[in-house]
Amino acid sequence: MCLCLFCICFCHFLSFSQCVYLGGPVSNKAVITQRPSWSQIISGEVITLTCEIQDGADTEWEYEWRSNSSETRPYSQHWVFTASASSHGNYKCRGKKKMDPYTSTAWSHPITLTVSRKLNCFTVSLTVEM
């Protein structure tokens, strides 16, 4: 037998379990965009990923990010970072309603970042005296 209070259940003297809310997915779609949008990113470039919730303007959203389907990043709509070799991978996002955090959109289609190493270039300047 468990005694539950605000969704925390005390089942024995020392153990307790937490109830799980299973919020259904919402129908809004999450779409991820990348700026700059070219597919070959050079190490050192600043990348902005934006998570857009379609038809979601009337709702306040929180955002969740995944890279390589594991890491989760903070809850903001934009994720700005400087690309490095380790930025290589898949990125996706989804939205959660701020007022109803157990309800989220499906994950966006992932985008793939390919990061190339910066080329070392020489700058040759010519001064032409006229």
Ligand X SMILES: *[C@@H]1O[C@H](CO)[C@@H](O)[C@H](O)[C@H]1NC(C)=O
Residues that bind ligand X (CB under 6 A): 67-68, 86-89
Residue placing its CB nearer to ligand X in the complex, 47 or 106: 47
* Nearest residue to the partner ligand X, using Cβ: 89
Query: Judged by CB, which is closer to ligand X: 77, or 87?
Result: 87
Beta carbon of residue 84, minimum distance to ligand X (angstroms, whole number): 9
The nearest distance, CB 19 to ligand X, in angstroms, is 33
Antiparallel, parallel or unpaired: β 111-116 and 40-42: parallel
Amino acid code (one letter) for 78: H
Closer Cβ to ligand X, 29 or 88, answer by number: 88
40 pairs with which residues across the strands?
114
Rg for the chain, CA atoms, rounded: 22
DSSP-derived letter for residue 25 is: P
Displacement of CA 14 from its chain's centroid (Å): 37
SS3 86: helix
Q: How far is the CB of 24 from ligand X (least distance, A)?
A: 30
Residue 24 or 74: the one with the smaller Cβ distance to ligand X is 74
